[in-house]
Amino acid sequence: MKPFIVVADGFDSDLFNTLQTMDEFTVHPKAKSSQGEIQELAPEIEGLVIRSATTVTPEFLARCPKLKYVIRAGEGTDNIDKAACRAKDVRVSNTPGANNNSAAEHAIALMMTTLRKTAAAHASMQAGKWEKAKFTGNELTHKTVGIVGFGRIGQIVAKRISGFEPQVLFYDPFVNRDQFPNYEKIDALAELFKRSDIITLHVPLIPATKNSINKALLSLMKPSAILVNCARGGIVNEDDLLATLKEQKIRGAAFDVFANEPLPTDSPLLTLENLVLTPHLGASTEEAQVRVGEMVIHQLKEFFVNKNLMNEVKA
């Protein structure tokens, strides 16, 4: 019997067609399914490809007696209960690196639109207004940019913004300062928050980072500073962020990720003029989707045909 593969949360159409034609698998004919459909398919699923919309919980695993392999089409795996998967002998992989450039560029785009107020200016013009004076912004050039998490994405951000001649600070306990002599490693997160004009987050959501950006750190930011989060929802305490922005203690913020997604329509974050919001677009480029799809297909074949597990995520 061929392994039954379900792609739950969307896939590049050309690559999905390629996956469907492969002799090695039986593939559910929809590249994106509702959560109800996924639950109905659960008893037969052997390989599951997800993004951020589908969660793999103990309850879901209990409905999947045949499940052997879960691939997160992306990097973050906080929507997968990996301990529960280990207990059921279900292996978990991600696609590291495929989204890195896309995520880094989106963080920079959010920096720029927050500094120059382009999103608000666009909305104003669509409303028939010409409020030039209202949207005086700030330059990125020569600013101090603090990068929290200096892995692959954080490093790309630093490289891409180099043309603006910023001073780049980074905080990452797992990165040696000698590796990056052109940037300044900061040993205390509080110092980075005090010194930076722009702070951008690039860390995973794990117990150590959940709600780690809170009132205490936000209160250290310059009144002229901005905060960008294209990493994971839940890293920033949203109640503390809301209070900070409502009281205009910082210039503004831009968020692509949220503790609950989709962001509820009654979220008070939607009422803030000094907060730019995007619906988890960090990986949403055509180029990134192709790279992710190629990696997923390769990893499925390696696992089910060649018995080779690639990019396993255990913790």
Q: How far is CA 108 from the centre of its chain?
A: 14
Cα 101 from Cα 257, distance rounded (Å): 17
Does 261 qualify as catalytic in the annotation? yes
Does 232 qualify as catalytic in the annotation? yes
Which DSSP symbol is given to 310? Answer: -
Does 122 qualify as catalytic in the annotation? no
Q: How far is CA 147 from the centre of its chain?
A: 15
- Catalytic, out of 59, 131, 165, 261: 261
Strand partners, 93: 71, 312
Q: Using alpha carbons only, how large is the chain's radius of gyration in Å? A: 21
Nearest to 9 by CA among 303, 289, 299: 289
- Catalytic, out of 232, 238, 251, 291: 232
Cα 102 from Cα 97, distance rounded (Å): 10
Cα 101 from Cα 62, distance rounded (Å): 36
Instruction: Determine contact, residues 166/111, Cβ cutoff 8 Å.
Output: no
Strand partners, 254: 228, 276
- Catalytic, out of 72, 91, 106, 280: 280
Cα 196 from Cα 269, distance rounded (Å): 23
Strand partners, 32: 9
> Where in the sequence numbering do the catalytic residues fall?
232, 261, 280
